[in-house]
Structure 1
Amino acid sequence: MSDLFQLSSPWWEFVLRAVAIYVLVMLLVRLSGKRAVGQFTPFDLVLLILLGNAVQNGLNGGDNSLAGAGILAVCLIALNYGVAFVAARSPGARKLIEGEPVVLARDGKVFRQVLRRELVSNADFLEAMRETGCSEIERIRVATLETNGRISIVLADDESSTR
């Protein structure tokens, strides 16, 4: 029973591991692009599960104690809160962490190269148009890929519509 709470490493090693893995995973998610975050497919769910399994040993270093799990959980939640706190108060940090919205179309012209670069399929763009009630590309004043992966569309004859 005492093994449940017996750490195999010093507490600070768990904190260091949590910080290192958190930064690595955040960087990888950031590099994967906005659509990967904003639109979960079954493949993305599989990736998320496998990613969690892949970093597990890096986090706990083979420790299976409740104390180690508790330290890691508290540290990861604190890191997430800290990142959100900084992003909410610093435009520069927010830009670094979340990125910036990207214009996909303007004045009825769709920027196909931008769609490809941002990994937005034509089907996803057309779906956003349908959800906005836009049947013709010419009606688009501006279409933007938001930092959360959603596509927002403002129509030329409307003030705002979003997906």
Structure 2
Amino acid sequence: MKDFQTFDFHRIFFGDLPYSFLLEILFRTAVMYCYTILLLRLLGKRSMGQLSTLELAIIICFGSAVGDPMMGKDIPILHGIVVITTVALLQIGAEWVINRNKRLEQFMEGRPDCLVKDGMIVLKSLSKNNLSQEDLFRFLRSKDVEQLGQIKDAFFETSGLVSVWCYAKPDIRPGLSILPEEYLSGSTYIAAGKTVSQSGAFSCRNCGYTTNYRAGQHFPVCPQCKERVWSKSHI
């Protein structure tokens, strides 16, 4: 410890090992990389296409187990191979058990949550999954959705993806526009209590509740979520 110096930039950037060890790192990295690719192929496409609890766990375990033998001079490659092989076998075994036990699958993977039902946002599901309205709208825009009236159901899957079921074109109704706020003019926001200037369909800016109001009526508080901001519905 007497020879140790803080901010020894040679040690920080290059280390204390001979430069020839860099060639060993290249060799170690190539071996671990090839073996990891082989194991991932054996695990199958499901593990690559989703990030459920099990898939996230294996990524974390693989990252730690693969990285150490690549750089650690005191960690044999064989030890790393044994670790990631064990992790892969545990993953295969866990999937086999979970796929045959519905209750365990629901506990480990969770359940899909309905985010939109019949053109209205399910606010409890947004809160439960720590999603904002803009997070939801971003997902929906990626599905070529323009307004909530197009949607029959939208589910937040256990993989973190959003599945959207849309109405057939003849059944599409007016609904809340999901354009980003910067593309909406301030005049599109109408506060509760103001008078309806032109008859038509209007949507609650918070939950998407949509109904028709006649000219001369006053905008009420939303009967579904009690919010006070409306906008002209998108058709």
SS in 1 for 2:88: helix
How far did 1:68 drift? 2.0
State the distance in 1 between where 2:133 and 2:140 align: 11
Match of residue 64 from structure 1 = 75
Matches within 5 A, 1:82-93: 82-93=93-104
Residue ranges of structure 2 left out of the alignment (5+ in a row): 1-51, 69-73, 170-235
1:116 aligned onto 2:127: yes
How far did 1:151 drift? 0.7
Can you list the C-alpha shifts for 1:93-123, whole angstroms capped at 9, x where unaligned? Answer: 2212211111111011102232122022323
Out of 155, 159, 168, the position equivalent to 1:144 is 155
SS in 1 for 2:155: strand
SS in 2 for 1:86: helix
Contact 1:103 1:144 in 2 (8 A): yes
Contact 1:145 1:152 in 2 (8 A): yes
Contact 1:128 1:152 in 2 (8 A): no
Greater RCO, 1 or 2 (C-alpha within 8 Å, sep 6+): 1
Match of residue 127 from structure 1 = 138
How far did 1:154 drift? 0.8
State the distance in 1 between where 2:93 and 2:106 align: 15
Matches within 5 A, 1:6-155: 30=53, 52=63, 64-155=75-166
How far did 1:92 drift? 1.9
Can you list the C-alpha shifts for 1:54-85, whole angstroms capped at 9, x where unaligned? Answer: xx89xxxxx72233212211110101111121
State the distance in 2 between where 1:68 and 1:110 align: 51
Match of residue 31 from structure 2 = none
Letter in 2 for 1:125: L
Residue ranges of structure 1 left out of the alignment (5+ in a row): 1-28, 31-36, 38-47, 58-62, 159-163
How far did 1:91 drift? 1.6
How far did 1:147 drift? 1.0
